[in-house]
A and B are shown apart, each in its own frame.
Chain A
Amino acid sequence: MMTADLRAPMSACPACAAMPASEALAQSKAAMKDATISLSLPGIHCAACISGVEGALARVDGVHEARVNLTLKRASVTAAPEVTADDLVAVLTGAGYEAHELDAGTIAATKTDREGRELLMRMAVAGFAMMNVMLLSVSVWSGAEAATRDMFHWISAAITLPAIAFSGQPFFRNAWAALRVGRLNMDVPISLAILLALVTSLWETMLSGEHAYFDAAISLTFFLLAGRYLDHRTRAIARSAAEELTALEVPRAWLVEGTGERQVPVAELAPGMLVRVRPGGRMPVDGEIVEGRSEVDRSLLTGETLPVFAGPGVAVSAGEVNLTGPLVVRATAVGAETSLHRMAELVAVAESGRSNYTSLADKAAKLYAPGVHILAALSFVGWWLWSGDVRVALNIAAAVLIITCPCALGLAVPAVTTAASGRLFRRGMLIKHHTALERLAEVDTVVFDKTGTLTAGAPEVMGLEGHDLRDMEVALALAEGSAHPLSMALAAALRARGVAAAEVAEVAELPGYGTRGLWRGEEVRLGRAAWVGAEAGAETSAFLKVGERRAVAFRFTDSLRAGAEDAVAALLARGVKVVLMSGDTTPAVEALAGRLGIRHWLAEALPGDKAARIEALQAEGAKVLMVGDGLNDTAALSVAHVSISPASALDAARVASDIVLLGGDLSPVPEALDVAGKAVRRIRENFRIATLYNVVAVPLAVAGLATPLIAALAMSLSSVTVSLNALRLR
């Protein structure tokens, strides 16, 4: 933050996408009036796009500065407060660039960014020191003697000690944190090896001894920092992409006041306020409808696909989607008190179960750390008793610790996960959790949610052939008069069949009920069962009533999400048990299960049921992958061994899951299982390679034959082999 404060105003582009810069701007008084607007530009890819977007934005009145970040595919705009994001989006759409507003508060990634920068600086210092010390060591290895050797050792010490004091801090801090609670992690042997090597080398140098391990200590630090940095970057990329998904949903609401309406951030709402929710909008608060009639889509909360009638007095909860008519809602609960938020909090409780998973690296460390310490201690005691010389014994113990130091182990996991995550990222999958790949590799059961996961959440008309042509013509005329999702799907399907709309007069939509009009002097209605006087079935249907004749039903099914059939077939083919769990009605779930060939299914499941079933499956020893998108899935997502949610999912569901699917396609899911399996195989291979090096080098070290040259060779060779092995995944 401090650096940003100092530098940002001087840099050529104060709005250079970086949040620190914009925060610093917000703090400085001169820029107080200006607002920073962030836009997501998914379509830009070239130099011409950059100048096109920047030019188009700069021509807007009130825009002071516009800067495109091509890597993040974002634009950051500094503009006068009267310029709104909607204006800018309209300008860019007009210029031919797809643009979406990003919530500036959500993409404030300052902290993570600073962490990465800190690691990079430590790595740079360690790299610089390593190169210089290695050059000095080359002269020592090639036979420098007496005063020259001592001088080279002293210079090495002068470079290494401050460099490690700065660069090694992450390891020392982690090791101390683990030791304080009486545990061992990978950082304990690392820190011990580095410190012991420094102490003995310093002592040797003072006594003008032959062997000093400054080069080994500093290159160890450098390789391990490289592993840490890779690890951090992989997660930072996933995190920033996940943040962008969240930032795309800008939380705003229309507040109804005595004087009119005003757009406000959701955070400013309080219970008792009146909020207008337009058709297509999501409820920002829990509340009660005071005005208007409509239907609401609760599928993200409950998994039901049937829209529910909503009129004055009906309670609604945050997250539901208003379908047809404008509604005015009196807020009863806002922000953290909404049922949406309370459900999301349940997830945090369930999540503690997952932390029981021990990563492969931790498992290796548990075996490895005590073994290494015992070995080093034994060689120290053995040599001390045999030779009676503490100096020799300490030197050999340090050599053992350095040779066995888990340098390759520290690189083994991050190098593989970086390569695997990169490959899956290109296929549209975002690995959010660092052990997600390992857990994914163990999966033997896949549980799918229905609505919004296997289905696209968009209705599709079924069995149009059975309808009378005249009915279809009337239905088309009525359906065209409404923006209801069912009407739109019906109209599209009828038009695709070449049906021409009948001439229906006085078409009017009654929000919450349907559309009606006059056709050849008779009243025609298209809408809910009760409104046209028909019996409602279990399936999603729209009913058409012509005059006094019996109502006809147009039945709908949810269209399948792209790749759903392939994904399920591929999973079944590889012998994975596939289960379908949904909050929807039994016939709807049964029909979909039959269509996809899924034998195990569960319908009308409450959120708790889903989680309980998954827990039961896991108690039987199954490793469950949960794929779901709704609020009713969040508990299940966090209980499952590993979880995936599509980008269209509710924020709470995306937070709860380990992996986010960026595209609309489900087909990468089986591939992710493959890649995860391969990644875990590579990690194990890497552990074996590292162990092999130790098996060769440790006897030399214990026998007192290891020189700093052998230590440096063993370490570099094993690190390079491990990294190359990981790269085979790409």
Chain B
Amino acid sequence: MDVLVWLIPVSLLLGGVGLLAFLWTVRTNQYDDPEGDSQRILSDEWDDHPKP
């Protein structure tokens, strides 16, 4: 069972990374326009070069 000493911190760390990523998306207003974002990805307007 010694492996638990590694596995538990690792699983917590990975989960924590997911949590931090979610908190980051919330704090940077990424849920303000879910409908628009789902449509924008279909547009090929800025496919060749990024929006200036």
What residues of chain A have their CB less than 8 Å away from a CB belonging to chain B? Answer: 3-4, 7, 11-12, 16-18, 20-21, 46-48, 50-51, 68-72, 117, 120-121, 124-125, 128, 131-132, 135-136, 148, 151, 155, 159
Contacts and interface: CB of A to CB of B under 8 A. Distances in A.
B45 interface: yes
Contacts of A48: 43
Contacts of A50: 36, 39-40, 43
Nearest to B27: A3
Nearest to A48: B43
Contacts of A18: 29, 32
Contact of A16 (B1, B32, B35): B32
Contacts of B11: 132, 135
Contact of B35 (A21, A71, A120, A128): A71
B38 to A, nearest CB: 8
B12 to A, nearest CB: 6
Contacts, number: 68
Contacts of A17: 32-33
6 contacts: A18-B29, A20-B29, A50-B39, A71-B32, A120-B26, A121-B23
A128 B15 CA distance: 7
Nearest to A12: B51
**Interface core residue of B4, B27, B39, B42 (most chain A CB under 10 Å):** B39
Contacts of B43: 47-48, 50-51
Nearest to A135: B11
A13 to B, nearest CB: 9
Given A128-B19, A135-B11, 15 more contacts: A11-B29, A12-B51, A17-B32, A18-B32, A20-B29, A47-B42, A50-B43, A69-B36, A70-B33, A70-B39, A124-B22, A128-B18, A132-B11, A136-B8, A151-B4
A201 B4 CA distance: 22
B7 to A, nearest CB: 11
Nearest to A124: B22
Contacts of B33: 16-17, 69-72
Prevailing SS type, chain A contact patch? helix
Contacts of B26: 117, 120-121, 124
A120 B23 CA distance: 9
**Interface core residue of A3, A17, A124, A159 (most chain B CB under 10 Å):** A124
Nearest to A118: B26
A161 to B, nearest CB: 15
A124 B39 contact: no
B40 to A, nearest CB: 6
Nearest to A70: B36
Contacts of B16: 128
Nearest to B9: A155
A68 B23 CA distance: 24
B39 A71 contact: no
Contacts of B39: 46-47, 50, 70
A47 B19 contact: no
A581 to B, nearest CB: 42
Nearest to B22: A124
A12 B29 CA distance: 12
A124 B29 contact: no
**Interface core residue of B29, B32, B45 (most chain A CB under 10 Å):** B29
A131 B12 CA distance: 10
B1 A148 contact: yes
A69 B32 contact: yes
Contacts of A155: 8
A151 B39 CA distance: 49
Nearest to B36: A70
A70 B29 contact: no
A124 B32 contact: no
Nearest to B41: A47
Given A50-B39, A71-B35, A16 B29 contact: yes
